[in-house]
Structure 1
């Protein structure tokens, strides 16, 4: 447990922050492993996703393309193997893209609350709506990993700190907007598809976190629903 400090006062315990310690390298600084010649169980799917010739056989070109994708998104080991973690990220990207501009088509995020931030854990997407009107998004997010799940339910933003720093990991949490016992929207400098996830917070890109900061206020509703794959 950690603490949120505001003007020197201890206010709340932190339970969900940033990435797990095992994922310490950003995508841009991940060290490339040796390229594997082994054909993975999701070879054809991965080849299709990357726009490669779909023959189901690993090649040097395949491996380098897969390895570049893994390095970009912090998938380890980044040896160019078309395994379940790599395909799981790609499959999620496909599902996110298919949502288009109608993220609340199933009506699971309340439309009777006025302005509300919605978080779909299943698809790892978030957006802001006002009634039935889409205000911003949907955007990809990175939520809590197994054992540190982002808690579901209807919540409210109760505290905002544009320059917050985690007292657990001593890492910045820019544009932090807290909505449930230390869990918050905030920006991170890693890929939204970097597995396995945060310690409970809803990670966002800097651009999206800044937009959420400009659109939301204390007291605004947040609705979190679904279940993140792998949790």
Structure 2
């Protein structure tokens, strides 16, 4: 009898060992069901379709300067949407690279500004639709990797072109001295010294009801950080030239482009270029606003 009991005990232990090897143990929930293997929708690194080799047989490589957004700790369960790497309101060099790559693919028709607004979100949505991705308008890791595989690394000129708009023929009053030469026809500002264009950028003007005044002026005073006392909106890098009208950076222009208008000021959408210009311009320098 004792021998029979020992045999039965060995059989039970062997069956238990086989069960452990097969993964049939409780998954920690108390249900006794085996844990499901990670799937592509769970966000497990290496499981997404975008990790597949490209047409040339090479896997897509992440940007050296762009954050990968790789999750830390335990993998996602799929219940939470992928965390966006870039989205509305972001302003940095990664946004500029994003815009330059989208422009290569004809999804973004402006010079990169480095500011993520409605125009950039719209371009991202178009790219996502073309690639069969969820049209979120924000950039998650999957969107970024697909963009990398579809575009090339932007050149310095692509990241910071002289201007989106072609410069107009300078007004004769711009040909001497230090001048902010502003053309309503081409919607550009050219910083000129003795007839030579030092830098240029896109600009936006006032509406019909609040037009930007034309004529010959001079820079009266400057303020690096200024808020409108009338409209209570930020006016960084403001250079005032005509009774409250100024050249200044506009986040709205960066976001919406020519869909909007100023209250009479000359808006600039490239913050970095305007910052450099602000440091060069002095009170007393000429300002010419012309058609």
Query: 1:73, 1:191 within 8 Å by CA — same for their partners in 2?
Result: no
3-state DSSP class of the match of 1:122? Answer: coil
Give the 3 Å change call, closer, same or farther, for CA 98–163 of structure 1 in structure 2.
closer
Selected match of 1:28 from 65, 68, 88:
88
Distance in 2 separating the partners of 1:169 and 1:122 = 27
Give the 3 Å change call, closer, same or farther, for CA 221–213 of structure 1 in structure 2.
same
Structure 2 residue aligned with 1:180: 242
3-state DSSP class of the match of 1:184? Answer: strand
Q: CA deviation at 1:109?
A: 4.7
* Residue 147 in structure 1 maps to residue 209 in structure 2: yes
Give the 3 Å change call, closer, same or farther, for CA 124–74 of structure 1 in structure 2.
farther
3-state DSSP class of the match of 1:211? Answer: helix
Selected match of 1:215 from 258, 272, 280:
280
Distance in 2 separating the partners of 1:71 and 1:117 = 29
Selected match of 1:117 from 160, 176, 180:
180
Matches within 5 A, 1:55-70: none
Distance in 1 separating the partners of 2:164 and 2:238 = 26
Higher CA-based Rg? 2
- Give TM-score, length-normalised by structure 2: 0.43
Distance in 1 separating the partners of 2:202 and 2:264 = 15
* Residue 203 in structure 1 maps to residue 267 in structure 2: yes
Q: CA deviation at 1:73?
A: 6.9
Q: CA deviation at 1:208?
A: 2.6
Selected match of 1:72 from 100, 107, 119:
119
Q: CA deviation at 1:141?
A: 1.0
Structure 2 gap ranges (5+): 1-86, 90-104, 108-116, 123-162
Structure 2 residue aligned with 1:171: 233
3-state DSSP class of the match of 1:209? Answer: helix
Query: 1:73, 1:190 within 8 Å by CA — same for their partners in 2?
Result: no
Query: 1:152, 1:223 within 8 Å by CA — same for their partners in 2?
Result: yes
Q: CA deviation at 1:112?
A: 4.2
Instruction: State the Cα RMSD in Å.
Output: 3.1
User: Which contiguous aligned blocks of 4+ residues in structure 1 show a shift greater than 6 angstroms?
Assistant: none
Q: CA deviation at 1:144?
A: 0.8
Distance in 1 separating the partners of 2:195 and 2:189 = 15
Distance in 1 separating the partners of 2:289 and 2:120 = 24
Q: CA deviation at 1:125?
A: 0.7
User: Where is the helix percentage greater, Structure 1 or Structure 2?
Assistant: 2
Q: CA deviation at 1:97?
A: 4.4
Range with bigger deviation, 217-226 or 204-213: 204-213
- Give TM-score, length-normalised by structure 1: 0.53
Pick 1 or 2: higher relative contact order, CA cutoff 8 A, min separation 6: 1
Distance in 2 separating the partners of 1:115 and 1:222 = 9
Query: 1:165, 1:173 within 8 Å by CA — same for their partners in 2?
Result: yes
